[in-house]
Amino acid sequence: MTVPTSPSPAANALATRHRLGNLEHTFRPESEVGVQEKYRIWFIVGSLVGIAALLVSGVLLWVKVHWGVAIFPLWIGVLAAWAVSQSPLFRSRLAARRLHLYEHGLVVNTSGSGLFAARWERVVLYQETVQEVIDYKGTRTPVRSAHVSRLVAPGGSKARITDVYAGSHTWGPLIAEAVARAQVEKVWKLVREGGTVGFGPYKLSGPGVTNASGEVLPWRDVSEVAVRGGMVCVWRSGRTKAWAAPKAEQVPNVLVFLTIADNLRRR
């Protein structure tokens, strides 16, 4: 859900302390089954009864028939028990977690009752999206994607936001765009004044882009900078193979990097 909802008193106090401004979006944990809160207890009871039936039948088959026959219901029961234990519908503390995006930053539940807060202009963001693809006779079909955003605050505190929160296809870009809006102008000014800015394996400066090996590629020789297949690629003019291609998860503030690099390349 992206509609703002009232934060907890602790989250609200943290947002006020960091001067995060107006609340714009709230995301809840992903639920595997669409069950209304008033029916949550029935989901739990039904799940436990079903798991117990699988385990008991497995034990009886082991004793009365053969262990080979019992393996299947026992294995399914164990998997079902693990899946249910990870569900927000079963774990009330997990269900109570929220990801709040504000005008100037975010507040998110990390683990347990822990909270993480940071302002967009001061946070370091690493993002990774993994697309699972089925390849059948040359036809590639996307079936599932998983997203992770890792944030590091100035004091060193960290937060890892995963698909536990529903709508990663929405909150992932929102976070990246907010960080870019808050940081691009400052980074652009620094580079134009002759400075060098590091982005993990890359460094950007007026003369060109530097890769992890220390090689500098002048901007006049850069044909394209883009994200391809989970890699942040830089291409040299006239070449089809990327000049450098580190993993996207290794490049902090990717959208800031792409924006600055593209503007330097086009000057």
Kindly report, residue by residue over 62-71, the tens digit of the pLDDT.
888 887 877 8
Q: Which one has a higher pLDDT value, 237 or 37? A: 237
Judged against a pLDDT cut of 80, whether residue 258 lies above it is answered with yes
Most confidently modeled of 48-62, 117-131, 177-191?
A: 177-191
Angstrom CA distances, 67 to 63, 73, 79, 80, stand at: 8, 11, 18, 20
Query: What's the pLDDT band for 33 if we cut at 50, 70, 90?
Result: very low
pLDDT reported for residue 59: 84
CA distance 177 to 149: 13
Q: Return the structure tokens found at 242.
A: 């990327």
Judged against a pLDDT cut of 60, whether residue 14 lies above it is answered with yes
Can you give the pTM of this predicted structure?
Answer: 0.76
Query: How high does pLDDT run on average in the chain?
Result: 85
Beta-strand runs (E) in 137-251: 139-152, 158-161, 197-199, 202-204, 208-210, 216-218, 222-228, 231-236
Judged against a pLDDT cut of 50, whether residue 32 lies above it is answered with no
Judged against a pLDDT cut of 90, whether residue 232 lies above it is answered with yes
For residue range 85-136, list pLDDT tens digits in order.
655 555 555 667 899 999 999 999 886 668 999 999 999 999 988 755 566 6
Q: What percent of the chain has pLDDT over 90?
A: 55
Query: What's the pLDDT band for 206 if we cut at 50, 70, 90?
Result: very high
